[in-house]
Structure 1
């Protein structure tokens, strides 16, 4: 046992890096919406990024430790405290037996992550612990659940400065199967338009809104359904773009104007409602180089971890610490 859930947000699920290799059988990858957050949590706890974590969409919850448990908090910043004392985000902490961790609403972005030392030790299905709600694999975490953890040894009190990816920005894209159905004027307008994330969004996809007319492709009503993947940008009948996310369907017939690079997809998923996004086409060669640099940066994360220096004002039992290790005489 590890954590008892006393309160929980409405869309909190266990996620790891997802299931690969089942697209041809109608099952999309699922997995964390913000893969770098998994790597950051692993770096803070000194463990593998393959471990599962709790993904919290917009709101966290209240958790009680049934045994001493190392935890780390990454992804979209949220208010967090242990027994009422605020704790740092993007850092690792020791949650002692009986203590309560409270995580509130997001301050930026959409998805925050709670990592446990040893990882969340739920059942593996098709090579992953990821919940896939649209495929009915697993379910959302509920009050009264107990979140189990794996075997763990290690230290806490570490911090890591994350990349800024929680307020929108530029998304690099490559051409998709139907990019050629959009004329040059439409493509130029697409890359020069500032989009806002709409209210319609979940782990399947997110709608974008913009001023002016929509984006239409030639002969789009005659497009046959074919394979689609996370990152594809579909144009609906109204001409509004939808960026597909980890739990997207595996086939579709809407025209796809472009595909977001995997290294930029976390930025898309973490863009809050009303946040702005722009698009830039890159070549396949540039995309490969950008993706390689992204993977190299994830591999370097353990080297970026630093010691977390606590503020004395946030230590309620400060006087119980032995702050003086000895004395010397000024006259000897």
Structure 2
């Protein structure tokens, strides 16, 4: 029981935290392009942070659920609807058999993530369920999802602790101009002083030659001391390569494991969503920060993730206590217009009840 695809959308793939430990053999990491949206989705549905989700690019699929489960949609706003009604983003939502999830016009951002409680029933390849399209490994037969495909749920959950409280503020990806904070290096000394100034002061545009491997930018030429060639070395997520032609390329999730072009800087981890949620035509500028600042921002993000997990899982008083017929408001501890939320099980059905004192 899981999800049946009536259509696959533009590019819908299974992605998790990535295929680590195999770059020495030439196997790219892959994984989610927007790590923050990806993690938030899993936190909302009670999964481990690295559990596989659907990555949905620009134009989403249409899927029918064949089992009850808790899901969450994060990342780009692609006008998602559930049974024809707008589906909230960044909130845990209970879906039932027969429910239909569809997507409409892209409003902001580029990639959305659909997390499902318990994850998807897909065999890992080299320790990961991520799809690497070029080698056709991982995910569902190493390819994008399409019409009549089926993804099973591995361990679906019809409810979760504090289900009604599992929500965070949606991220806004509507800005068409983004500043990417970078740590300079490791080959920033391969560029002239004017070249480095150009890189940090110039305005660049995301081109159509951008994909999961890298984002190519058009803009001012960054001047090298000699040229852009080096002995090949490792490439990290967010590395900013600049070949001899002087135009930046930001390396992304499906990047090659090594490369022979100079790298002037690396986008800091917390800013990766700013480039992976950018579309062709969006404007990019760079700002240099210290590695210490980059680390502090990353640790703050990690702390926030842990706080969210604890808040979703901790007991909230008697919020799920059954309500007996005719119970007095005073017994519920209500006063001054307060309200409390209860869940009532009746004839096998779960009802959410809001009890509120109304003064006449």
TM-score band by shorter chain is 0.7 to 0.9
Cα 1:222–1:89, aligned 2, differ >3 Å: closer, same or farther?
A: closer
Report whether the alignment pairs 1:146 with 2:146. Answer: no
Conservation of the 8 A alpha-carbon contact between 1:52 and 1:120: yes
Provide the residue aligned with 1:14 in structure 2.
14
Corresponding residue SS for 2:300? helix
Provide the residue aligned with 1:84 in structure 2.
84
The TM-score with structure 2 as length reference comes to 0.80
Conservation of the 8 A alpha-carbon contact between 1:166 and 1:271: no
Residues 260-305 of structure 1: CA deviation (Å, up to 9, x unaligned): 1122112111122222222122222222222222222222233676
Cα 1:82–1:174, aligned 2, differ >3 Å: closer, same or farther?
A: same
For residues 228 and 47 of structure 2, the distance between their equivalents in structure 1, rounded to whole angstroms, comes to 49
Higher RCO structure (Cα 8 Å, ≥6 apart): 1
Cα shift at 1:115? 1.3
Cα 1:239–1:125, aligned 2, differ >3 Å: closer, same or farther?
A: same
For residues 204 and 213 of structure 2, the distance between their equivalents in structure 1, rounded to whole angstroms, comes to 19
Provide the residue aligned with 1:201 in structure 2.
210
Provide the residue aligned with 2:325 in structure 1.
none
Unpaired runs of 5+ in structure 2?
Answer: 313-318, 320-350
Provide the residue aligned with 1:281 in structure 2.
288
The TM-score with structure 1 as length reference comes to 0.86
For residues 41 and 269 of structure 1, the distance between their equivalents in structure 2, rounded to whole angstroms, comes to 16
Provide the residue aligned with 2:326 in structure 1.
none
Unpaired runs of 5+ in structure 1?
Answer: 308-320
Corresponding residue SS for 1:288? helix
Give the paired residue count.
Answer: 314
For residues 281 and 221 of structure 1, the distance between their equivalents in structure 2, rounded to whole angstroms, comes to 21
Conservation of the 8 A alpha-carbon contact between 1:95 and 1:101: no
Provide the residue aligned with 1:5 in structure 2.
5
Greater Rg over alpha carbons, structure: 2
Conservation of the 8 A alpha-carbon contact between 2:179 and 2:287: yes
For residues 136 and 276 of structure 1, the distance between their equivalents in structure 2, rounded to whole angstroms, comes to 32
Report whether the alignment pairs 1:130 with 2:130. Answer: yes
| Divergent runs of 4+, >6 A | 321-325
For residues 250 and 354 of structure 2, the distance between their equivalents in structure 1, rounded to whole angstroms, comes to 57
For residues 42 and 280 of structure 1, the distance between their equivalents in structure 2, rounded to whole angstroms, comes to 31
Cα-Cα RMSD: 2.7
Provide the residue aligned with 2:168 in structure 1.
160
Provide the residue aligned with 1:290 in structure 2.
297
